[in-house]
Amino acid sequence: MDVLKKIDIHKTAININIRNIVVAQDLGISLNLAHLASELGFENVEYHPESFVGLVYKIPEYNATLMIFRTGKVNIVGTKTLDDAQFAFDQLKKELNID
């Protein structure tokens, strides 16, 4: 708070709201993204390799967007809790038949 007062901001309480978290996960396998796009169904998938190196998979029930890369790395955005991010990642693993 002293730092804020030095720059003439006199706020007594700061409300912090988590609106979005970013979680990085790893499937531990390499992926064929073109094949994966068809497996996951095109209604929730965006895959344009000429403009972005990853596949974007949306899971509306968790308000999650997963950016999936051929290396098996996955970035999960849009969730507000770690539990929701984990549920979204688990859903992806279930779709891929990965234990």
Tens of pLDDT, residues 23-72: 999 999 999 999 999 888 888 999 999 999 999 999 988 889 999 999 99
Please determine, for residue 3, whether its predicted confidence score (pLDDT) is greater than 80. Answer: no
Count of structural domains within the chain: 1
Q: What is the pLDDT of residue 88?
A: 95
**39: how many CB neighbours lie within 10 A of its CB?**
13
Please determine, for residue 14, whether its predicted confidence score (pLDDT) is greater than 70. Answer: yes
| H or E element at residue 23 | strand 22-26
Chain length of the chain: 99
Q: What is the pLDDT of residue 12?
A: 67
Instruction: With beta carbons less than 8 A apart as the criterion, state whether 62 and 36 touch.
Output: no
In a domain, 59, yes or no: yes
Between the CA of residue 12 and those of 6, 7, 16, 18, what are the distances in Å?
14, 14, 13, 20
Mean pLDDT on 78-97 = 93
Q: Which domain CATH number covers 43? A: 3.30.310.10
| Full-model pTM | 0.81
Q: Which domain holds residue 63?
A: 18-95
